A and B are shown apart, each in its own frame.
Chain A
Amino acid sequence: MSRTTLSAHLIQFGVIAILGGAWYWSTATGSVSKLFLPEPAAVWLAFSHLITTGQFWSAVKVTLTTIAQAYAIALLAGIGVGYLVSRSRFLIDVLEPIIAGLFAIPITLFFPMFILFFGIGTGSKIAYGASYAFFPIALNTIAAFANAETHFLRAARSMGASQWDTFRHVLIPSALPVLLNGMRIGFFISFASVLGGETLSSVAGVGRNIALAAELMESARMYAWIAFVVLTAVMLNLLAGGLETRVSRGGDGAWR
């Protein structure tokens, strides 16, 4: 590791250490209300206690299955619609601005509508998450397939490739990077929106537990839940970043 990278990492570590120190110090001296900022030890205790309870894992299961369902629907609908629209220049010019325009309105605004339609169970969160994630997936799919470089398609045709051959060997590989990008964005939107929906209004799941802990003024437990979410999110981000670099490198790490 070069000296500059080493010192950079040292600084990062230093910043986190300072923040951690400030946390410890401010709570130890009592200058911050325990309600807002419990002691690190209390949070750690709550966290270790939390992950041993069955209630924790059932909540996590609820959230995960909700996210999975929302994402699956968004993928099917988004890729399906995106692919179909991409087949015709006219359809793209007509529909893409409508989809992009709808995405410009914060979908979060419509959350109460989903509660109205589906109640406060997981159904509303699935519908909300799916609707939200649909847009970046569909838009990226349209872009991915519409912009498949025409000279590759023409080359395949000129070589006598069948429709299926062209689809498999030209269209899909050329569309893959943009497609995957959309799928990645869609996933994180599903993740965040389901979590958000649960926090706003639900009966079960991780988000609900955060809100509940706040309501009951159990700050240590709330922080424990938040810490869990943050750790999961950071790990997922790293995973997604790693996956994407692996896939977009065809073989010798050469392409795109």
Chain B
Amino acid sequence: MAMTVRLSEGRDGRLLYASRVRWARGIIILAVVVALEIYGRLFADPAFLQPPSEVLRAWFVTVLPDGRITSALGMAAFEIACAYALSVTFGAAIGLAIGSTAFSRLALFPLILLLYAIPQISFIPLFVLMFGLGAASKIAFGFTHGVLPVIVAVVGGMKNVPALYVRGARSMGLSKLAIIRHVIFPNIAPSFFVGLRLAMTMTLLGVILAELYVSTAGIGFFTRMFADNYNPAPLFALIGSLAAIALLFNGCVRILERQLSRMHSGAPAG
């Protein structure tokens, strides 16, 4: 029939448009990189701006071979992982506790929101004073940043868990853990996943801030060294490495989300 043979304006048109969009985006990004390269090589003061090719070179020559820098990067990654793990576990536990009854939500949740409003950065000198210059203060600072979004997400999600199901499950003799797994989690899952993502963003922020603050060792030391010596290429390279680590962690969170939802996709959501 003539109708089925004629290709749709809808589908083909959309494919064409999507590829045009991708091309345009690619061209813009390329143009920016090329402009930076040209400007960096020919016009910029080398003390302030280096072209991307120099940054790349500095990455291979200055950053990668230097064991101290790579171990600082590794340490930062370790701190992020620890802080995040702590944030998620404690955040979920506290969130479950606060969110379990309407009254506890009413009473305790405003306190959490109060904490959220406080700019934690003003506490960084205190953290370093208390936990020292090593990894502990960074993990602690990352933890305090990351735990709040998880608590908020879990409590928010639990508002939607029908109390009826919890009571029903308890009357059937399910253990607390089983209730959490089969009744609570499927219902809070969407909100929880949003919280997971936000927690990673905040944990990254906390750890990075702490690292930058401590300028006597670690990342903070090297950023200060490169900045003070007007050495932009390795500085950009270092920052780029950290950005890559951040993106990697964000990717891990997405994988974690997928795994968790797959594990529970069998569980009836009610």
A115 touches B106 (CB 8 A): no
B108 touches A191 (CB 8 A): no
- Per the 8 Å Cβ criterion, residues 13-28 of B in contact with A are 20-21, 24-25, 28
Specify which of B129, B205, B208, B213 lies most central, judged by the most chain A CB atoms within 10 Å of its CB. Answer: B129
Q: Which listed residue, A7, A94, A115, A117, touches B25 by the CB 8 Å rule?
A: A94
A36 to B140, CA, bound (A): 15
Tell me, yes or no, whether B72 is within 8 Å of chain A by CB.
Answer: no
A99 to B267, CA, bound (A): 38
Q: Which listed residue, A108, A199, A234, touches B122 by the CB 8 Å rule?
A: A199
Assuming the A-B contacts A8-B106, A104-B250, A116-B230, are A15 and B205 also in contact, with contact meaning beta carbons closer than 8 angstroms in the complex?
A: no
- Per the 8 Å Cβ criterion, residues 71-128 of A in contact with B are 90, 93-95, 97-98, 104-106, 108-113, 115-117
Assuming the A-B contacts A207-B122, A233-B119, A237-B117, are A116 and B224 also in contact, with contact meaning beta carbons closer than 8 angstroms in the complex?
A: no
Tell me, yes or no, whether A225 is within 8 Å of chain B by CB.
Answer: yes
Q: Which listed residue, A11, A95, A106, touches B205 by the CB 8 Å rule?
A: A106
B25 touches A97 (CB 8 A): yes
Assuming the A-B contacts A113-B236, A213-B125, are A108 and B117 also in contact, with contact meaning beta carbons closer than 8 angstroms in the complex?
A: no
| B interface footprint on A1-40 (CB within 8 Å = 1, 0 otherwise) | 0001101100110011000000000000000000110000
B129 touches A200 (CB 8 A): no
Tell me, yes or no, whether B121 is within 8 Å of chain A by CB.
Answer: yes
A234 to B125, CA, bound (A): 20
Tell me, yes or no, whether B123 is within 8 Å of chain A by CB.
Answer: yes
Q: Which listed residue, A15, A109, A200, touches B242 by the CB 8 Å rule?
A: A109
Residues from chain B with a CB closer than 8 A to the CB of A94 are 21, 24-25, 28
Q: Is the interface of B mostly helix, strand, loop or mixed?
A: helix
Closest residue of chain B to A14 (Cβ to Cβ) is B107
Q: Which listed residue, A5, A112, A233, touches B106 by the CB 8 Å rule?
A: A5
B107 touches A111 (CB 8 A): no
Q: Is the interface of A mostly helix, strand, loop or mixed?
A: helix
- Per the 8 Å Cβ criterion, residues 34-85 of A in contact with B are 35-36
Tell me, yes or no, whether A136 is within 8 Å of chain B by CB.
Answer: no
Nearest Cβ on chain B to A19's Cβ, whole angstroms: 10
Residues from chain A with a CB closer than 8 A to the CB of B124 are 196, 199
A105 to B111, CA, bound (A): 30
Closest residue of chain B to A228 (Cβ to Cβ) is B122
Nearest Cβ on chain B to A17's Cβ, whole angstroms: 12
Specify which of A16, A94, A115 lies most central, judged by the most chain B CB atoms within 10 Å of its CB. Answer: A94
A206 to B125, CA, bound (A): 13
Residues from chain B with a CB closer than 8 A to the CB of A105 are 243, 246-247
Tell me, yes or no, whether B201 is within 8 Å of chain A by CB.
Answer: yes
Residues from chain A with a CB closer than 8 A to the CB of B118 are 230, 233-234
Q: Which listed residue, A93, A112, A199, A213, touches B227 by the CB 8 Å rule?
A: A112
B212 touches A108 (CB 8 A): yes
Nearest Cβ on chain B to A4's Cβ, whole angstroms: 7
A206 to B209, CA, bound (A): 17
Tell me, yes or no, whether A141 is within 8 Å of chain B by CB.
Answer: no
Nearest Cβ on chain B to A87's Cβ, whole angstroms: 16
Q: Which listed residue, B122, B212, B243, touches A112 by the CB 8 Å rule?
A: B212
A229 to B122, CA, bound (A): 7
Q: Which listed residue, B21, B24, B125, B247, touches A214 by the CB 8 Å rule?
A: B125
Assuming the A-B contacts A225-B122, A229-B122, are A98 and B239 also in contact, with contact meaning beta carbons closer than 8 angstroms in the complex?
A: no
Tell me, yes or no, whether B43 is within 8 Å of chain A by CB.
Answer: no
Assuming the A-B contacts A15-B111, A199-B213, are A109 and B125 also in contact, with contact meaning beta carbons closer than 8 angstroms in the complex?
A: no
Tell me, yes or no, whether B260 is within 8 Å of chain A by CB.
Answer: no
- Per the 8 Å Cβ criterion, residues 181-223 of A in contact with B are 191-192, 195-196, 199-200, 206-207, 210-211, 213-215, 219, 222-223
Residues from chain A with a CB closer than 8 A to the CB of B122 are 195, 199, 206-207, 210, 225-226, 229-230
B239 touches A112 (CB 8 A): yes
Interface residues of A (CB under 8 A from B): 4-5, 7-8, 11-12, 15-16, 35-36, 90, 93-95, 97-98, 104-106, 108-113, 115-117, 191-192, 195-196, 199-200, 206-207, 210-211, 213-215, 219, 222-223, 225-226, 229-230, 233-234, 237
Cβ contacts A to B, 17 pairs, < 8 Å: A4-B106, A7-B103, A36-B130, A106-B204, A108-B208, A110-B239, A112-B212, A113-B232, A117-B48, A192-B119, A192-B121, A196-B119, A210-B125, A215-B125, A222-B126, A226-B122, A234-B118
Interface residues of B (CB under 8 A from A): 20-21, 24-25, 28-29, 48, 103, 106-108, 110-111, 114, 117-119, 121-126, 128-130, 201, 204-205, 208-209, 212-213, 223-224, 226-227, 230, 232, 235-236, 239, 242-243, 246-247, 250
Known: A12-B111, A90-B24, A105-B247; 11 extra A-B contacts, CB below 8 A, are: A36-B129, A94-B21, A94-B25, A112-B235, A113-B232, A196-B124, A200-B213, A214-B129, A219-B129, A222-B125, A229-B119
